[in-house]
Amino acid sequence: MTDKNRDFVPALGKSGSLDRYDAAIALMTREKRWRSDLVRLVAPQAGERVVDIGCGTGTLAIALKEAAPASDMLAVDPDPAVLEIARAKADAAGADIRWFEAMGDELDAIDALQRCDKIVSSLVLHQCPMDVKQAIAAQMFRLLKPGGTLFIADYGEQRSLLMRMLFRQIQLLDGFKYTEPNAKGCVPEILTDAGFEAVEEVKIIPTPTGSISIYRARR
């Protein structure tokens, strides 16, 4: 389902270890704070089809399913190793989620993802080169049904010297070339160029590794 020859920055960067991924994310990003804010903003409802693109080890997808057990929750990631962890976590939580191994910009062929009500994505775009950021945004636009809503939580514009300095940790981990556009505030423009309307940065959360922004946009 995914092109095995394509490269991507894996969870926790190219030198990271999956056995400490969840603990590292919790420590480095104030995860409980921004994920709980994101779940409240997404507000999944019974019967809605919600897709998590770049789901990683499944923490967000599980939280969204627990918030609306009668929703249809689907999650996508290109890394089979993290999906294995995600499935195990979901099974332990009793969360019925459908998992797909695929790149975030190559989802048109997956029928189950089409015309979804809401899309979420967290900590994905900052790990991608600019052309892939743009391709993922375009893919999200195509998957959403008219009137559907997109929610993104990721490192956004680093507005203060302190946040800029803290964000250097992420740049050393994931690469300066991929992360610098995020630090300069590229996300709203990328979403607008993809066709989204009402693009807004609704929340900014300072963390030990720079500020994470929550963006909302409408198809």
**Structure tokens, 127:** 């790990």
Kindly tell me if the per-residue pLDDT of 142 is higher than 70: yes
Q: Look at residue 11 and tell me if it is in a domain.
A: no
For residue 156, give Cα distances in angstroms to 64, 88, 163, 182, 184.
Answer: 23, 31, 10, 5, 7
CATH number of the domain where residue 77 is located: 3.40.50.150
**97-101 β-sheet, strand order:** 97-101, 72-77, 49-53, 116-122, 144-155, 210-218, 197-207
- The stretch 116-135 carries a mean pLDDT of 97
* pLDDT for residue 70: 98
- The stretch 152-157 carries a mean pLDDT of 98
Question: Is pTM, for the whole model, over 0.85?
Answer: yes
Of the pLDDT bands very low, low, confident and very high (cuts 50, 70, 90), residue 176 is very high
* pLDDT for residue 204: 97
The type of residue at 49 is R
Q: Look at residue 22 and tell me if it is in a domain.
A: no
- The stretch 127-143 carries a mean pLDDT of 97
pLDDT tens digits for 64-122? 999 999 999 999 999 999 999 999 999 999 999 999 999 999 999 999 999 999 999 99
The torsion of the CA quartet 101, 72, 96, 36, rounded to 10 degrees, works out to 90
For residue 34, give Cα distances in angstroms to 98, 154, 170, 213, 215.
Answer: 24, 10, 17, 9, 12
* pLDDT for residue 30: 72
Kindly tell me if the per-residue pLDDT of 61 is higher than 70: yes
* pLDDT for residue 8: 56
* Inter-residue contact 60 to 36 (CB < 8 Å): no
Nearest CA to 219 out of 139, 104, 155, 121 is that of 139
Q: Which domain holds residue 199?
A: 30-218
**Structure tokens, 73:** 């929750």
Cα–Cα distance between 17 and 171 in angstroms, integer? 17
Q: Look at residue 168 and tell me if it is in a domain.
A: yes
Q: Look at residue 47 and tell me if it is in a domain.
A: yes
Question: pLDDT exceeding 90 applies to what percent of the chain?
Answer: 84
Cα three-residue angle 90-96-102, rounded to 5 degrees: 75
Cα–Cα distance between 30 and 11 in angstroms, integer? 17
Q: Look at residue 10 and tell me if it is in a domain.
A: no
Question: 56 in helix, strand or coil?
Answer: coil
Kindly tell me if the per-residue pLDDT of 2 is higher than 50: no
Cα–Cα distance between 141 and 117 in angstroms, integer? 11
Q: Look at residue 24 and tell me if it is in a domain.
A: no
* Inter-residue contact 90 to 98 (CB < 8 Å): no
Kindly tell me if the per-residue pLDDT of 4 is higher than 50: no
More confident site: 48 or 27? 48
Q: Look at residue 129 and tell me if it is in a domain.
A: yes
Cα–Cα distance between 133 and 184 in angstroms, integer? 14
Burial of 47 (0-12, 13-18, 19+ CB in 10 A): exposed
Q: Look at residue 9 and tell me if it is in a domain.
A: no
Kindly tell me if the per-residue pLDDT of 182 is higher than 70: yes
Number of domains present in the structure of the chain = 1
